[in-house]
Amino acid sequence: MKENSIRKAVREGRAALGTGLKEFASRGVPHIIEHSGFDYCMIDMEHGAFDLETIADLAGWFAATEVSAIVRIHKAFVHHIPLMLDQGIMGIQISGVDNADEAREIVREAKYPPLGNRGMSGMGPHTGYKSYGNRYQTEYAPWANANVILCPSIESLEGLKNVEAIAAVEGIDMIAYGHSDLSAQLGVHLQLDHPRFKEAMQKIVDACKKHGKLARGSAETEAQIEEYWKLGCQVLNLPGTDTSTYLDGLKARAGRAHARLKSIGVPTPSVG
């Protein structure tokens, strides 16, 4: 079994770089993400339209790369966590976690004893179709507990107030935040350079440092990549997902073509 690529990057002293999927789910996408230099990919099951079978397919395709796939879900769907992990998903990001009790519920569903109460499911995608038999608890379960990343996302004032208690929960591996929702709750929607938002970021990172958890920063600008790394975010989610990346790339390519045609007098369309 492979080490979680987030863990691997951090162990090597690198920033673990992540991107996201919310629209495209074909067998080539994981390889494209890997060749682009990313360490992990967040598959969006909160705002995307992926079903469980698609998640299973993506998990299998990502398993053929060095990129670890994590899935983002809302906390209302915590009961789906074991099912997705049994398909080979390497981490779960849970949106809207507000307190330590919710964090402990996540651990119960996702980690094997003694950390949690995840049910054992023999041979399957999660074990690489290897049968551990009566060695499941002594060989596979410890590996899974160490390599499956559990990442609550702080998106409310209540969650921010309780972030240290959330970070203190054994079995939680990383803390993220929803930059749009959290900044809106702070009254500075998407003003990510506002002192109020920066203070919240600092509080999240400090809680992670205190309790030995990874802090994940969402770097929405080039400058924030450096800023968040220096702050202590060893995991960096880069701006955009498959949809915005594809749109930006196509617009740039079409724009160059239209500019060349316009230079020789060919009419060009008005693009929104």
Domain count, the chain: 2
Say which residue, 222 or 227, is predicted with more confidence. 227
Find, among 40, 1, 37, the residue nearest to 235 by Cα.
40
Kindly state whether residues 224 and 158 are assigned to the same domain: yes
- Do 87 and 51 contact (CB within 8 A), yes or no? no
Kindly state whether residues 218 and 109 are assigned to the same domain: yes
CATH value at residue 31:
3.20.20.60
The parent domain of residue 256 ranges over 241-272
Kindly state whether residues 167 and 193 are assigned to the same domain: yes
Could you tell me which residues come within 8 angstroms of residue 192 by beta carbon, excluding any fewer than 6 positions away?
A: 179, 183, 220, 221, 224
Token code pair at residue 267 = 């009419």
pTM, 2 dp: 0.95
Q: What per-residue confidence (pLDDT) applies to 221?
A: 87
Kindly state whether residues 173 and 256 are assigned to the same domain: no
How does DSSP assign 78-137, residue by residue?
Answer: GGGHHHHHTTT--EEEEET--SHHHHHHHHHHHS-TTT--PPP--SSGGGTT---GGGII
- Do 62 and 91 contact (CB within 8 A), yes or no? no
Kindly state whether residues 13 and 130 are assigned to the same domain: yes
Give the pLDDT confidence of 67-105 residue by residue, as tens digits: 999 999 999 999 999 999 999 999 999 999 999 999 999
Find, among 188, 174, 22, 182, the residue nearest to 106 by Cα.
174
d(CA 117, CA 185): 34
Give the pLDDT confidence of 103-123 residue by residue, as tens digits: 999 999 999 999 999 999 999
Confidence of residue 1 (pLDDT cuts 50, 70, 90): confident
Kindly state whether residues 165 and 215 are assigned to the same domain: yes
Token code pair at residue 159 = 């969650």
Kindly state whether residues 160 and 250 are assigned to the same domain: no
Kindly state whether residues 186 and 251 are assigned to the same domain: no
Give the pLDDT confidence of 54-69 residue by residue, as tens digits: 999 999 999 999 999 9
Radius of gyration of the chain (CA): 20
Kindly state whether residues 154 and 124 are assigned to the same domain: yes
Could you tell me which residues come within 8 angstroms of residue 85 by beta carbon, excluding any fewer than 6 positions away?
A: 92, 110, 118, 126, 144, 148
Kindly state whether residues 211 and 228 are assigned to the same domain: yes
Among all chains, which residue has been given the structure tokens 């160490």?
146
Kindly state whether residues 129 and 66 are assigned to the same domain: yes
Kindly state whether residues 10 and 47 are assigned to the same domain: yes
User: Which amino acid makes up residue 228?
Assistant: Y
- Tell me what the mean pLDDT of segment 143-167 comes to: 98
d(CA 84, CA 106): 13
Could you tell me which residues come within 8 angstroms of residue 196 by beta carbon, excluding any fewer than 6 positions away?
A: 186, 187, 188
- Tell me what the mean pLDDT of segment 227-239 comes to: 97
